[in-house]
Amino acid sequence: MSTVAHEHDHHHAPSGLKRWIFSTNHKDIGTLYLIFSLMMFFIGGAMAMIIRAELFQPGLQFVDPQFYNSMVTVHALIMIFGAVMPAGVGLANWMIPLMIGAPDMALPRMNNMSFWILPFGFALLISTLFMNGGGPAGGWTMYPPLVLQLGDAFPFLIFTVHILGVSSIMGAINIIATVFNMRAPGMTLMKMPLFVWTWVITAFLLIASLPVLAGAVTMLLTDKYFGTSFFSAAGGGDPVLFQHIFWFFGHPEVYILALPAFGIISTIIPTFSRKPLFGYASMVYATASIAILSFFVWAHHMFTVGMPIKGELFFMYATMLISVPTGVKVFNWMATMWRGAMTFETPMLFSIAFVILFTIGGFSGLMLGITPVDFQYHDTYFVVAHFHYVLLTGAVFALMAAVYYWLPKWTGYMYDEKLGKIHFWLSTIAANVLFFPQHFLGLAGMPRRIPDYNIQFADFNMISSIGGFAYGLSQLLFVYIVIKCALGGKKAKAQAWEGAKGLEWTVPSPAPFHTFETPPKLTKAMLEH
């Protein structure tokens, strides 16, 4: 057994602040990740509120354009790297050892480090907003030459990306090392819960794509300060090259955000349909195919740079191809619900909303993937609507579902079901009021990342802003529900949900500090999906 797990037997876990700072316990670190990502969700959300306030009416009302653009940029960076990714890693930390019958993560000390460098990374990023020349305002994609015009904040932006990359890569290595080496006897790869599968595949995506981003931003850094010309035409470089390298990372990143969500949904829908997941093996293969294909479609983000027709055709067809495994997943979820004894607790509601709304986001993605029409949609609000459907009503809804689903296991209490349902309906209605009109704005030609707009776009923007404020406010209810549940309520059983399958429901609620110190004896029933 690992030396670290052994240590814990001999001395008591430190209490107070030290418990959290020095923790090597997967549950503590999972909790830290989840709380951190919730904080980031609110900071990034506050920035979104500033954006929507500015866009409430045409003209410039509250902030100057430079600050508006830095809000757009930092909102994206915080939501992607600070909210969605750490929330996914937090869930992985909490649940993967419980799901595969392992006592802890394989590399507990690295686990501690990969979490604790995150707050420093984001402190750096947020500090740039107060610097000479303002925060990064050229978009989260950091395209040169625009990003090179950034003032003092530039090196801080680059080092932030490095730190976040290092953190995520360490997290990914830990997850793979855990799943490959720490499974309880009898837990073969094809018996693993789908959440574990999607996370393993996500971890491989992280390891393959994040170092490429680190390389790209390092090139930006040397271009600016050390006289290299990777992206400078004057020195024989090419700014378009940056876009290729960036999106070689950027497209797999999309699936880094989405695949864990697929895993969550594949766990929750069977529970509340009281049926095994339809097509388990096809789900695993579909996830793997999505991951592999994601490395061959990057240029669909840059159809308008002036690519040759053959390149555009290749990337268009490759993009269309991804809808096949994604379709397999959506149909499997529907088939799982088909004729199931369904009940509609909050996690299930969020999951069903995920299936519907993520699919809408997928369809608008298909529209964007068609090269000729992309020339019209490119850099408009249609793109904004598309990726918020897949990331907010997709990834974030899945994360919300996961929190409601496993909250009884984490706290030992049931959350307030009535409030949970209110939170769900407020979120779902508000998110659609917020993002659905943006499709129309984009089709009518409203560009992204500009604080002012033509008055013809006024009505839809006002509706969208109202939805935005409603969504933002209703998330406060979520915080209240989580805190209320942590403080008390109806006691949760070990198996908190009637139809739940999996090893995590065999340990008491709340899950004790140490679990599965001796590997569990797996029965056939336990391995059912």
Partner 1 sequence: MSTKQRSINKTTTILFIVTILMFGFGYAMVPLYDAFCQITGLNGKTQRVTEGAGEASPILDREVRVLFDSNVNGDLPWRLKPSVKSIKVQPGKFYDATYTVTNMANVPIIGQAIPSVSPQIASLYFKKSECFCFVNQLLEPGETKDMLVRFEVDQDLPVDVGALTLSYTFFRAKGNNS
Q: Is 9 a catalytic residue?
A: no
Known catalytic residue: 298?
no
Helix, strand, coil shares, percent, the chain, to 5: 75, 0, 25
**Residue 205 C-beta: closest distance to partner 1, Å:** 11
H-assigned helices in 300-345: 309-337
Q: How far is the CB of 439 from partner 1 (least distance, A)?
A: 33
Binding site residues, partner 1, CB under 8 A: 1-3, 106-107, 169, 172-173, 176-177, 180-182, 207-216, 219, 227, 229-230, 232-236, 238, 240-241, 244-245, 248, 306-308, 311
At its nearest, how many Å lie between partner 1 and the CB of residue 180? 5
Q: Which of 490, 487, 350, 346 lies closest to 417, judged by CA?
A: 346
Nearer to partner 1, 3 or 518 (CB): 3
Query: Which is nearer to partner 1, 16 or 236 (by Cβ)?
Result: 236
Q: What are the distances in angstroms from CA 473 to CA 18, 34, 49, 386, 463?
A: 33, 20, 10, 22, 16
Is 168 assigned a catalytic role?
yes
Taking the least distance from each CB to partner 1, the nearer of 185 and 508 is: 185
- Selecting among 75, 183, 224, 529, the annotated active-site residue is 75
Question: What span, in angstroms and rounded, lies between the C-alpha atoms of 25 and 30?
Answer: 8
For the bound state, the minimum distance from the C-beta of residue 3 to partner 1, rounded and expressed in Å, comes to: 7
Q: Which of 52, 183, 224, 300 is catalytic?
A: 300
Catalytic pick among 274, 421, 448, 514: 448
Phi, psi of 50 (to 5 degrees): -60, -45
The helix/strand/coil state of 463 is helix
Residue 283 beta carbon to partner 1: minimum distance, rounded to whole angstroms: 24
Which one of 27, 224, 251, 275 is the catalytic residue? Answer: 251
Of 23, 73, 168, 428, the catalytic one is 168
* Active-site position among 247, 255, 381, 497: 255
Query: Has 70 been annotated as catalytic?
Result: no
Give one DSSP letter per residue of 136-158, joined into a string: --S-TT--TTGGGG--THHHHHH
Amino acid letter for position 50: I
Which distant-in-sequence residues (6+ apart) come within 8 Å of 142 by Cβ?
Answer: 136, 157, 161, 217, 220, 242, 246
Q: 329 an active-site residue?
A: yes
Query: How is residue 455 written in tokens?
Result: 């008055």
Buried (b) or exposed (e) across 158-178, using 16+ Cβ within 10 A? bbbbbbbbbbbbbbbbbbbeb
Residue placing its CB nearer to partner 1 in the complex, 85 or 337:
85
Closest CA to 240 of 320, 155, 311: 311
172/257 with CB nearer partner 1:
172
Nearest to 95 by CA among 396, 417, 511: 511
- DSSP per residue, 341-367: -----HHHHHHHHHHHHHHHHHHHHHH
Q: Is 211 exposed, middle or buried (0-12, 13-18, 19+ CB in 10 A)?
A: middle
| Active-site residue, from 26, 183, 224, 301 | 301
Nearer to partner 1 among residue 65 and residue 215 (C-beta) = 215
Is there a contact between 159 and 124 (Cβ–Cβ < 8 Å)? yes
Active site (annotated) includes residue 285: no
CB atoms within 10 A of CB 38: 19
Nearer to partner 1, 3 or 188 (CB): 3
Do 164 and 118 contact (CB within 8 A), yes or no? yes
Catalytic site includes residue 167:
yes
- Is 251 a catalytic site residue? yes
Q: How far is the CB of 20 from partner 1 (least distance, A)?
A: 25
- What is the closest distance, in whole angstroms, from the C-beta atom of residue 456 to partner 1 in the complex? 32
Q: How far is the CB of 312 from partner 1 (least distance, A)?
A: 11
Q: Which entry of 26, 183, 329, 388 is annotated as an active-site residue?
A: 329
Q: Is the dihedral of CA 113, 114, 115, 116 positive or negative?
A: positive
Q: Which is nearer to partner 1, 48 or 254 (CB)?
A: 254
Clarify whether 183 is annotated catalytic.
no
Give the nearer residue to partner 1 in terms of CB position, either 169 or 353: 169
Q: State in angstroms the smallest separation of the CB of 444 from partner 1.
A: 32
Residue 380 pairs with which residues in a beta bridge?
447
Q: Tokens representing 296? A: 């061959």
Instruction: Please indicate whether residue 312 is annotated as part of the active site.
Output: no
Residues contacting 511, CB < 8 A, separation 6+? 27, 98, 409, 410, 504
Indicate which residue of 128, 266, 346, 474 is catalytic: 266
Residues assigned a catalytic role: 75, 104, 140, 167-168, 251, 253, 255, 266, 300-301, 326, 329, 448
